[in-house]
Structure 1
């Protein structure tokens, strides 16, 4: 005979359910798919085909240098911009408030969103890598390179997700939309995410400490040199800690 057992589900099951829902919502949203896939692919194709015309000179083929940066850009677009905008409007429409009244704790909400981001990013990386291979990309390195990419994606996602939630939890939805897009454009243009920090001259010494510069540097070190960028990963870890602590203190469910 069935005996009811009222109570919350185990934490892990709640996180997986939340992640599954978040991933489905992201994949159904046309604006987020534009940020996640279309813009990075356009940046990759445009930069590779136009590198010679705009005077970009690298020690390696342009596609080999630009592909890791575009992969980092894809992580940033999903982990920061798309997440911040979606969460901002979820707060506005009361979705976050209702989640706050459920057994799902704030840590579970954050974990579910990060896991959903990783699932979407896996799709992004597959698409971008396929396009890059068609453009002549020749990644180097073996297991060490794979390890470096995995660590960069995980820590980069955690860093940008914590900062995106910090933004979404502190501002109104419209302000979050404007700020997230502005920050995305600024980091894409001057944050050493697509181009290496050395391309920015003396300013490169500053931008390499930004989460965008650290993520781009870690991806390039892994896919160009076949190494794990310890310093860049520590920078991403530091931003993750800062963003998580501030989000936990300031995030509002409504």
Structure 2
């Protein structure tokens, strides 16, 4: 007991601090009704809608086989960009970020905890969407899971960097508007759910260079054909590096 109460006892180790912060961030995200709608409800509605309509017919697989990879990509964007961006923006507004960055957790631990929370929620999304898609007849290639999960993590990294860039540079109200608007635009016209060839001609040549289009295309090719398009991976890496560097350069903690 005396050892526990010793005034010389130091803070917990960095990995433990990160785990505790990640646990807190995860619980906060899962308790937020708006984020749950973005993370689970809307992707599931989109999955069922695409599975029962002819929009994705003739793309090399059944409707649900073509739709599910895009819905998984949408889940990554929902959690890493919209959800984390909004949460970080309002944490910044109320001084939470400034306070936590001065504690033993530090800025590195804070960011790592947020990334950990994104990955945990993403795992839950994959399990839920995968289960519902399986009930609808989804039959993914077994060998596609390893590259598919790797692509999801890479996509989450890119969208987390973008979310932190927005949340750290504009007002929380503007963050809320921007992240929701981008979610709608990317979801509808960004190539993440609907392949580029089914989009209007005006945007077909652009979506491949967006993180949404690159992630959607890469996941569809991985799960439908068992291959990973190198160009899409390069685009996602570039978005991660550029957005991450910009967030580090211009992020304001208060």
- What TM-score, normalized to structure 2? 0.92
Partner deviation per Cα, 1:197-253 (whole Å, 9 max, x = no partner): 222346333211111011111211211111233321221111111111111111111
* Residue-pair matches, total: 250
> Would the aligned equivalents of 1:149 and 1:219 in 2 still touch at CA under 8 Å?
yes
1:83 maps to what in 2?
84
1:209 maps to what in 2?
209
> Would the aligned equivalents of 2:218 and 2:228 in 1 still touch at CA under 8 Å?
yes
> Would the aligned equivalents of 1:197 and 1:208 in 2 still touch at CA under 8 Å?
yes
Alignment of 1:114-129 (within 5 A): 114-129=115-130
> Would the aligned equivalents of 1:36 and 1:77 in 2 still touch at CA under 8 Å?
yes
Question: Does 2:126 match 1:137?
Answer: no
> Would the aligned equivalents of 2:64 and 2:138 in 1 still touch at CA under 8 Å?
yes
For structure 1, the residue ranges without an aligned partner over 5 or more in a row are none
2:162 maps to what in 1?
163
More displaced, 118-127 or 218-227?
218-227
For structure 2, the residue ranges without an aligned partner over 5 or more in a row are none
Q: Distance in 2 between matches of 1:231 and 1:114?
A: 25
1:108 maps to what in 2?
109
User: SS of the counterpart of 1:170?
Assistant: coil
Question: Does 2:36 match 1:44?
Answer: no
More displaced, 225-234 or 237-246?
225-234
> Would the aligned equivalents of 1:148 and 1:229 in 2 still touch at CA under 8 Å?
no
Question: Does 2:188 match 1:189?
Answer: yes
> Would the aligned equivalents of 1:84 and 1:180 in 2 still touch at CA under 8 Å?
yes
1:32 maps to what in 2?
35
Q: Distance in 1 between matches of 2:214 and 2:21?
A: 29
Q: Distance in 1 between matches of 2:158 and 2:191?
A: 16
1:17 maps to what in 2?
20
Q: Distance in 2 between matches of 1:245 and 1:10?
A: 27
User: SS of the counterpart of 1:231?
Assistant: helix
